[in-house]
Amino acid sequence: MNFFKVPLTLTFQEVLPFLKMNKEPSPQEKKLIEHYLMEIKQKAQPIGVWKTFPVKYWSPEKISLEGSPLLLEGKNTAQHFQTCEQITLLATTLGAEIDCLLAHLSPRNPAHALIADGVASTAIESFTEQLDCYLSTQIRRKGYFPTARFSPGYGDWALNWQKEFLISLDSKKIGIATTPYFLLQPCKSVTAALGWSNIPLERSYTAPSSTKKPAKKPCCSAHTCHYCQLASSCPDRFKY
């Protein structure tokens, strides 16, 4: 079990896609974004946890892990991790104070709540991405090829597996829990699995070119956005 704590490195520009702002926001919106960037950086207590499990059993329908009650279930899901010897489970959260902030704003001031929610969503995504990059580098150094992140609720991996996911990580330690309907609490939390593939995978590399293409998320290629955990915040959501 490893813990991950780094500061948020969020910028104004990164927030815009999460607010679905594809061009310059209005001066009032800008002011609100700047304000909540600061407030969320101040209130967030980003922390992550991860643990790596050897793959115990693979079938085209599901994967089980050594020492974990979790099943990576579903055809898409099993295919995603087909070539993996190990799987790293990770969970990240911004902490409960962000929930308090959003709960406070939501009924009183929807415009503020909307912006704060967008900033917080960007923050947890960006923080998770930081952890992902860190783990990917380590996986590559050990001679494996990291898969793209995949989460319960992506593709055909049912959200119901959140509970076992969290148990596997003992994520109580960083304060993440799930509701009976499998919603993560605090709300700005993410769970994801990262595979250690023994053969190269296209998506595990940033192709050497200067034009940055955003990493393709498995949910997007599967055209199942509507079932995605990130549907409300995914910048690619409306492309399909």
Partner 1 sequence: MSKFLSSLQEKALLGDGALGTMLTQAGLPPGESPELWMLAHPEKLKIIHQAYLKAGAQVIQTNTFGANRLKLQEYQASSQVQAINLTAARLVREVVGRKAFISGIVGPTGHFPAPLGEYTWGQLVEVFREQMEALQKGGADFIFLETFSDLGEVRAALYAAKNFTTLPVACSLTFTQGRTLTGTSPETAAVVLEAMGADLIGANCSTGPQELLPIIEAYSKATNLPLLVEPNAGMPELIDGKTVYRETPAMMASFIEDFLQLGVKFMGACCGSTPEHILAMKEKLNSLPTAKPKNACTKKSFPTRLASRTKVITMGTNELPRLIGERINPTARKSIAQAFRENKWDLILQEAFEQIEKGADLLDLNVGLPGSNEGDLLPEGIRQLQMALDIPLVLDCTDPIALEKGLQEYQGKALINSVNGEEKSLTTILPLAKKYGAAVLGLTLDEKGIPAKAADRFKIAEKIVKRGLEIGLVKEDILMDCLVLTAATDSTLCLETIKTIYLVKKHLGVSCILGLSNVSHGLPQRSWLNNAFLALALGAGLDAAIANPHDSRISETLAAGALLSGRDPGARNYLQVAGKTPPASTKSTDHTNPLSTLHTYILQGQKEPIISLLEELLTTTDTDPLTIIKQGVIPPLEKIGDLFAAGEIFLPQLLLTSEAAKIAFSYLQKQLPAATFANKGTIVLGTVKGDIHDIGKNIVKALLENHGYKIIDLGKNVPTSSFIQTAKKEKAQIIGLSALMTTTMVEMEKVIQEVKKEKLTVKVLVGGAVVTADYARQIGADGYGKDAGETIKVVEKLLASD
Interface residues toward partner 1, by CB under 8 A:
5-7, 9, 19-21, 24-29, 32, 38, 41-42, 85, 102, 106-107, 110-111, 113-115, 117, 130, 133-134, 137, 140-145, 153, 159-160, 179-183, 185, 187, 199-200, 205-210, 212, 226-229, 231-232
208: DSSP letter: S
CB contact at 8 A, 75 and 62: no
CB contact at 8 A, 84 and 55: yes
User: Of the two residues 101 and 169, which places its CB atom closer to partner 1 in the complex?
Assistant: 101
Angle formed by the axes of helices 96-108 and 110-141, nearest 10°: 150
> From the CB of 107, what's the least distance to partner 1, in Å?
6
DSSP string, 99-162: HHHHHHHHHH-HHHHHHHHHHHHHHHHHHHHHHHHHHHHHHHHTT-EEPPPB-BTBTTS-GGGH
> From the CB of 43, what's the least distance to partner 1, in Å?
10
User: Of the two residues 100 and 199, which places its CB atom closer to partner 1 in the complex?
Assistant: 199
> From the CB of 32, what's the least distance to partner 1, in Å?
7
> From the CB of 33, what's the least distance to partner 1, in Å?
9
